[in-house]
Structure 1
């Protein structure tokens, strides 16, 4: 039996035409290319949703539900971390318009549900704006999942803290690809502000060295547990929605 891959970029247009008529929805992983301390790769915010998407697709298939995984959106809105080399910041309005047009194309292709699996906090407001514009014009439902936020309670049972390039994110990347993590450079601290301050180079204050948490206690075992519980939670949500 020939198994057709469920990654959109691996399909021919004929395969895509056939598959889109039988799948229940589409997952769109979204992240950013930005500094994550001196110990994590710039692609952290994409690597995580890609791996979660893969696990969700497998879990749904085990329950008899097919879902397509779209190519990820790598670049996101990252004003705060733009002070560090390697951060590729897309302005909020530009990013929103870009995502909006992608969502519109999926709606035109006939997808009734698009699940945005987001891995980056700076994307949240533009993603909401893009989705709102699209659902007013097309018969499509957009589901926005921010994996580290929406399952904060579950993750807090595994990690002692959460934060940018912190224990949770570092654990997840250790589980996905430990060769990309430099644990000897995994240092940082949690910093908070009572109100949001917007100023140039604010990242130097609240993200020293590109970190806002202590990643020292991160382990691959914790990362595997996070990936499993988050992917299971998302699967259960999508079973209900699809």
Structure 2
């Protein structure tokens, strides 16, 4: 059930027996020359939809919140179309959203994150809300990290705009993927370097992996295993 599609009386009634809300969070940023800027939102939205469907089949109801589209993406801000939100602003914004859900009576808030740069601001926001509402449990799920072993059993590599993300997008929004432009390589640094233009070095053309082996079949397999595992965790069967 999507919150934005409910009337307030419907929302009030659902709160009586639904204690979990899922909040997808992503970013608008460069994902190579082949993926859309909204990749980091499209993925958690689809995962959340599938999680809700699986939970419904298990007799568990959750509410799906509208997504937070913009995120903290300092490194990729060197590329056009990347909309970077300062970490303090993101932390404060998501904190206030979670405070409202907590005040509404939800006892579990699942942050379904699709973007790596959001991780630290989200942890800090969750800690502040947990301090204020000790009865509330907040989950931070970074789908590509928390289920890395499963993903690497499907893909031979993963990375920003890489084989895994490109496969997922081929499965859910193939009309937005330009596979003729899907190229890249893995880059790394021995230490974390923070510099305004470091994105051009570590993410040439906005990519850090080779996406050329991506397929819709791999994407469907990733979406299936990730959504199934998240659903079972929420249902208490994980």
Report the TM-score when normalising by structure 1: 0.97
Aligned to 2:220: 224
Aligned to 1:3: none
Q: Deviations over 1:35-83 (max 9, x none)?
A: 0000000000000000000000000000100000000000000000000
Deviating 4+ runs (over 3 angstroms): none
Matched, 1:124 2:122: no
8 Å contact from structure 1 (residues 24, 65) kept in 2: no
**Structure 1 unaligned runs (5+)?**
1-5
The 5-angstrom pairing of residues 184-199 of structure 1 reads 184-199=180-195
Deviation at 1:240, TM superposition (A): 1.0
Q: 2 CA distance for matches of 1:90 and 1:241?
A: 36
Equivalent of 2:88 in 73, 86, 93 = 93
Deviation at 1:22, TM superposition (A): 1.1
Aligned to 1:13: 8
Aligned to 1:177: 173
Q: 2 CA distance for matches of 1:110 and 1:236?
A: 23
Q: CA RMSD in A?
A: 1.0
Q: 1 CA distance for matches of 2:32 and 2:21?
A: 32
Matched, 1:40 2:35: yes
Equivalent of 1:166 in 162, 169, 174 = 162
Other structure's SS at 1:101 match: helix
**Structure 2 unaligned runs (5+)?**
none
Matched, 1:208 2:218: no
Q: 2 CA distance for matches of 1:241 and 1:27?
A: 18
8 Å contact from structure 1 (residues 167, 215) kept in 2: yes
Report the TM-score when normalising by structure 2: 0.98
Deviation at 1:241, TM superposition (A): 7.9
Deviation at 1:24, TM superposition (A): 3.0
Other structure's SS at 1:145 match: strand
8 Å contact from structure 2 (residues 19, 105) kept in 1: no
Equivalent of 1:106 in 93, 101, 107 = 101
Equivalent of 2:131 in 132, 136, 148 = 136
Q: 2 CA distance for matches of 1:111 and 1:24?
A: 5
Other structure's SS at 2:235 match: helix
